[in-house]
Amino acid sequence: MRFSTLTTATLASVSLASARIIGFSAPSTLAPNSTFTFNLTTENYIQRVADVAVSWGYTLPTETNPTGYKYSLGSFAESAYLGPDRSNIITGVVVNATVPVGLNSSSYFGKDVVLSVAVTSLYGASGGPVTQGWNVTVRIGAEDGGEWVDSGREGGWIENGSCQ
């Protein structure tokens, strides 16, 4: 009887795990045409969140927009499916990406660029759609690496933000 009660309680708590994505981190230097990973940062949340997809892109900072443009990924946009196997994970989500070969041009190589990431999710039982984004500044160089830069949870943007 005790085993059954403990098993039921454990399974119930596992099935109720809820987390949402609140930012991302990436290596501070990226090399054109290389593969790298970035991490989606998560936290506990009050309801289940079905993460659908993650998209990312690169843009040059400007004097008026040094951390990128709100609601924009920039050039060389790519995406990856997240789905149920990569949703509601409290320990974060690792995303594999390739740095576009186009960043090898003199416009980008050796310069700081803004790496923008956006996640589209469905919140709660009603499946309310939300797209949220964050930016970090990285350097385009000869090889991937360096310290990791973190978007933090502040300074991002959210579309249809009534769920936050």
pLDDT in tens, 19-63: 999 999 999 999 999 999 999 999 999 999 999 999 999 999 999
**CATH homologous superfamily of domain 18-145?**
Immunoglobulins (2.60.40.10)
Rounded to whole angstroms, the Cα distance separating 127 from 110 reads 43
Give 63's DSSP letter. S
Q: Which residue has the higher pLDDT, 156 or 69?
A: 69
C-alpha distances out from residue 93 to 7, 37, 79, 90, 154, Å: 27, 10, 14, 8, 19
Q: What percent of the chain has pLDDT over 70?
A: 86
pLDDT of residue 140: 98
As a whole number of Å, the CA-based R_g of the chain is 18
Q: How many CB atoms lie within 10 A of CB 145?
A: 14
| pLDDT in the model for residue 155 | 60
Alpha-carbon torsion angle 55, 61, 62, 67, nearest 10: 70
pTM for the whole structure: 0.85
| Residue 152 pLDDT class (50, 70, 90 cuts) | confident
Amino acid identity, residue 57? G
Query: Cα separation of 46 and 73, whole Å?
Result: 28
How sure is the predictor about 163, in pLDDT bands with cuts at 50, 70 and 90? Answer: very low
Residue with tokens 């956006």: 118
> Which positions ≥6 away from 72 have C-beta within 8 Å?
57, 59, 116
- Residue 3 above 70 pLDDT? no
pLDDT in the model for residue 158? 78
CB atoms within 10 A of CB 21: 25
